[in-house]
């Protein structure tokens, strides 16, 4: 039950040079907030005016296609917008409809998802598409409650799809929206579930109550537009560490204006990892040795990566490529090692994992394979993936040799290499 009224109007005006901590009202203890109709109207008006003028142009905005909205919302879970843009367009061109996605193989879906991480999302999306094709003639349910029956669709995603694609007045509450609401209302952040419930109720008060009509240019969809505006505000202005309050459309309604205690983030862990880069020539084709992760691996099961090496076994070597790769709370400092000579038994002995999981793949097919994000990044940086077909040093005219590929020893036969294991 929401009881208190938030005193937004009684705040001292904010200026950049003011003694902000003393001018700001004390944060209200969490325990229920009730907005007045005037506050709600002011908030919505200011937010929507800003959104119409400033919203980023994104490939999944301004369309009326529930399938595309669904795909984009699944991709955006815990993933940066810039990374999603890159994969979304390609994914949609490969699987333009629910039917196309349902009829694809899991390997094809994982390949199109490669680089986005959290591959369970891709598997659940695929499974949901197969369910929709078998049970609902390929049509998505139109309410948040019904959408939640699909694999991989929870509270946040169902609200986003239902409001944006079907106009349902149901509020989205993701991490960005929670942060905006906490700051606007001046509540201290706590890990308590009760706070999440209260924020969800606040978000629901703010969303326009009537159903929208997402057809046409989308302007007649107040619930969907409001949700997108809230998420946009959190993603572009009300940033976790340094909010851009001077540009904020709800600045005059905000209690904290950036002076807000947030829970410190968990410190990132660091780990080192090492991988083998091994290429060979087969006629006109160049192949790369890859390792298939076990089907029961807790992360990235069944995906392909460069063969992992024991880091301590290559500690004294200079890698062909160094890179950093972050996965959730861990920073991986990665070295990619190519053989020094045609036969390099020490490197072969440094291999980890099951030898049966190693296989050669044509570099020209790499973009169609379910590669891990790290493998894709490394192969791109090394020029193996973007070139598609690596030209052997001996085949190249003098002076045109690729700087990184020139360090690799090609032509080492599979048998030679595996014999060293
Ligand atoms: S004024 Fe600052 S802290 Fe308040 S909602 Fe806007 S960006 Fe966030």
* Domain over 269-419 is classified CATH 3.30.420.40: no
Residue of 245, 277, 272, 271 lying closest to 258 (CA atoms): 245
Q: How far is the CA of 251 from the centre of ligand 1 (A)?
A: 6
254: Cβ below 6 Å to ligand 1? yes
Please, are residues 95 and 112 in contact by the beta-carbon 8 Å criterion? yes
234: Cβ below 6 Å to ligand 1? no
Q: How far is the CA of 120 from the centre of ligand 1 (A)?
A: 34
Alpha carbon distance 276, 3 (integer Å): 62
172: Cβ below 6 Å to ligand 1? no
Please, are residues 127 and 96 in contact by the beta-carbon 8 Å criterion? no
User: Which CA distances in Å does 320 have to 336, 342, 401, 404?
Assistant: 6, 16, 16, 8
Alpha carbon distance 144, 140 (integer Å): 11
Residue boundaries of the structural domains of the chain: 4-14+29-253, 269-419
Atom of ligand 1 nearest to the CA of 233: 7
| Burial bucket for residue 395 (CB in 10 Å: 0-12, 13-18, 19+) | exposed
Q: How far is the CA of 181 from the centre of ligand 1 (A)?
A: 9
34-49 pLDDT, tens per residue? 678 888 899 999 999 9
Residue of 310, 247, 229 lying closest to 276 (CA atoms): 310
What is the biggest distance separating any 2 CA atoms in the chain, rounded to whole angstroms?
A: 79
169-193 pLDDT, tens per residue? 999 999 899 999 999 988 877 766 6
Q: How far is the CA of 121 from the centre of ligand 1 (A)?
A: 32
Give the model's pLDDT for residue 237.
Answer: 96
The preferred substitution site among 257, 261, 262 for testing ligand 1, maximizing ligand atoms within 8 Å of CB, is: 257
Alpha carbon distance 394, 397 (integer Å): 8
Please, are residues 303 and 293 in contact by the beta-carbon 8 Å criterion? yes
Please state whether the predicted TM-score (pTM) of the whole model is above 0.85. Answer: no
Give the model's pLDDT for residue 261.
Answer: 66
CATH architecture classification, 4-14+29-253: Orthogonal Bundle (1.10)
Active-site annotation holds for 73: yes
Give the model's pLDDT for residue 248.
Answer: 96
Q: Considering 73, 168, 178, 232, which one is annotated as catalytic?
A: 73
Please, are residues 72 and 250 in contact by the beta-carbon 8 Å criterion? no
Q: Which residues of the chain have pLDDT under 50?
A: 1-32, 387-421
Handedness of CA 306, 353, 329, 87 (dihedral sign): positive
């Amino acid at each position: 039950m929401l009881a208190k009224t938030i005193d937004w109007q009684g705040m001292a005006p904010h200026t950049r040079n003011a003694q902000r901590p003393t001018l700001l009202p004390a944060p209200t203890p969490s325990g229920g907030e009730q907005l007045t109709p005037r506050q709600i109207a002011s908030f919505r008006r200011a937010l929507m005016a800003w959104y119409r003028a400033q919203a980023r142009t994104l490939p999944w905005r301004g369309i009326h296609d529930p399938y595309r909205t669904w795909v984009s919302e699944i991709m955006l879970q815990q993933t940066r917008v810039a990374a999603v843009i890159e994969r979304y367009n390609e994914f949609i061109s490969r699987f333009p409809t629910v039917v196309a996605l349902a009829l694809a193989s899991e390997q094809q879906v994982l390949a199109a998802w490669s680089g986005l991480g959290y591959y369970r999302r891709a598997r659940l999306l695929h499974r949901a598409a197969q369910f929709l094709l078998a049970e609902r003639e390929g049509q998505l349910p139109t309410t948040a409650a019904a959408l939640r029956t699909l694999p991989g669709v929870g509270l946040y995603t169902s609200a986003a799809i239902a409001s944006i694609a079907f106009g349902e007045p149901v509020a989205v509450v993701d991490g960005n929206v929670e942060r905006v609401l906490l700051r606007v209302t001046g509540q201290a952040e706590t890990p308590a579930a009760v706070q999440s419930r209260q924020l969800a109720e606040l978000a629901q008060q703010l969303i326009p109550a009537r159903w929208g009509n997402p057809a046409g240019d989308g302007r007649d969809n107040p619930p969907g537009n409001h949700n997108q505006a809230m998420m946009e505000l959190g993603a572009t202005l009300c940033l976790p560490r340094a909010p851009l309050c001077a540009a904020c459309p709800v600045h005059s309604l905000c209690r904290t204006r950036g002076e807000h205690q947030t829970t410190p983030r968990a410190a990132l862990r660091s780990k080192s990892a090492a991988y083998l880069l091994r290429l060979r020539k087969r006629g006109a084709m160049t192949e790369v040795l890859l390792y298939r992760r076990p089907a029961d691996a807790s992360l990235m099961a069944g995906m392909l990566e460069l063969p992992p090496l024991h880091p301590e076994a290559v500690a004294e070597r200079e890698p062909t490529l160094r890179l950093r790769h972050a996965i959730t709370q861990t920073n991986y400092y990665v070295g990619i090692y190519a053989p020094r000579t045609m036969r390099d038994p020490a490197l072969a002995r440094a291999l980890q994992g099951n030898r049966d999981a190693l296989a050669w793949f044509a570099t020209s097919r790499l973009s169609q394979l379910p590669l891990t994000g790290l493998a894709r990044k490394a192969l791109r940086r090394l020029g193996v993936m973007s070139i598609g077909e690596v030209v052997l040093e001996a085949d190249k005219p003098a002076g045109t040799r690729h700087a990184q590929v020139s360090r690799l020893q090609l032509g080492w036969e599979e048998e030679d290499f595996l014999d060293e294991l």
